Amino acid sequence: IQGKVGIVTGGGSGHLPIFTGYVGPGFLDACAVGDVFASPSAEQMASAIRHANGGTGVLRLYGNYGGDVMNFDMAGEMVEMEDDIATTTVLLADDVVSAPKQEAEKRRGVAGMVYAFKIAGAAADTRADLREVTRIAQKAADSCRSIGMALSPCIVPQAGKATFAIGEDEMEMGMGIHGEPGIWRDKLKPADAITDEMIDRILADHEFGKGDRLSVLVNSLGATPLEELYIMYRRVKQRFDDLGAEIVMPLVGRYATSMEMTGATITTLALDEELERHLKAPAACAYWQV
């Protein structure tokens, strides 16, 4: 769109509806998608940037994974030299168990990028310049905290076998969306106990208290059904009600998956007036309409 900052993302397939599901008005302008759990090429990413360019620059907004970072950096250099397109980068690094707080820049990006897509898209729709859209997107990314847990692996088609082995009566806390190791593995626990630990670990990283406002995403990693996600959300809401914090525009469903993995992630987005305004701004894509 001419005169609007473009927003692009990219990464491997297998995480539907990320990434293609979030292209639309008030969200992303384009995305580059690689093979299952594999980064797109720098050429694919450069093509997405060119497609999204409206003459005022392009924000690259994606998860903190080595291959994606390397290829998006190369793509940025390509379009700057060949097309004179200015680009900036915001990385999502919201997975609280993937690195300690003092090394937060090493954390993985997970479902928090869904919130960042929405807020950055709303900022771009105001015709803010590239620096301002980047600032707001970074603020949204910095305000997200996520944690996941898994009950089963998934199968990458090229490999034809499960990404990891886990017993039918076991679970793993802190599992990454590609099957990266978590922080403990044990027998299955009740839903409230699992949810409590996930919230406890988020609160240890970002405190919420009386009068605070936040949005919460309870996300299926693929096979976990809505009924079980709502059982988890019920407990999430109890926990934040007890703290005196108010949940705004909660999301429950499949927003960032890992093929057919059974499991879930919880993401919190700490809100201020600016972030809440952009979160509530009208937008429409295949999986989220406001």
CA distance 169 to 185: 11
CA distance 96 to 147: 6
Q: Which residue in the block uniquely carries the two structure tokens 């108010």?
A: 246
Q: Which residue in the block uniquely carries the two structure tokens 């291959």?
A: 67
Which residues belong to the active site?
A: 15, 178
- Is there a contact between 14 and 40 (Cβ–Cβ < 8 Å)? no
Tokens of 255: 């927003």
Tokens of 24: 């639309």
What secondary structure letter does DSSP report for 28?
Answer: B
**C-alpha to C-alpha distances, 198 to 51, 54, 95, 105, 193, nearest whole angstrom:** 39, 41, 11, 21, 9
**Residue in 259, 175, 265, 187 with CA at minimum distance from that of residue 223:** 259
